[in-house]
Amino acid sequence: MSEPSAIEDLATYLRQLKDKTGRSYDALARRLGVGKSTLHRYCSGEGVPPRFTLLEQFAKECRASQAEVIELHQRWVRAQTVQAPEPETGADQPVERPEGRETAPDQPLPRRRTPRPRRENRASLRRSCPRDARGRRWRGWRPWSRAQS
């Protein structure tokens, strides 16, 4: 059999620490301030946390000794050095353009229409607007310009 990868080794060690406490992923995640799916991802080997501080807090919540924290750090460093193969995106690959969108390089792309900001409900302001003797609205009135007494 092949030797387990560094990420699987870290995940196994995290599961051992978690099982030692008897707490659930949800309970530990709440104490650490992360999502339970994030914590489960680290314990199952699907990901490695970018910073060790989360794992250090995890070890403290699991009541790990100083030697166990040092061992956890060594395993985290090994897992960080393992690089997952990334898909190559180079100049030799053609750029995919959406169909029906043939633009010349010198022409700028059309601007996207941005949504208009919402206005406040003016109908309620119209109803409460003061009126003159004939019943016409007083156009100079603004509810925010009333003098405070």
Whether the per-residue pLDDT at 1 is higher than 50: the answer is: no
What is the C-alpha separation between 58 and 52, in angstroms, rounded? Answer: 10
Q: Is position 71 within any domain?
A: yes
Could you tell me the end-to-end alpha-carbon distance of the chain, in angstroms, rounded to an integer? 85
| CATH code for the domain in which residue 35 is found | 1.10.260.40
Three-point CA angle 136, 138, 139, nearest 5°: 115
* Structural domain containing residue 70: 6-81
Q: Is position 69 within any domain?
A: yes
Q: Is position 123 within any domain?
A: no
What single-letter amino acid sits at 73? H
Q: Is position 61 within any domain?
A: yes
Q: Is position 47 within any domain?
A: yes
pTM over 0.75: no
pLDDT tens profile 9-48: 999 999 999 998 888 889 999 998 999 999 999 999 898 9
Q: Is position 113 within any domain?
A: no
Q: pLDDT band at residue 140, thresholds of 50, 70 and 90?
A: low
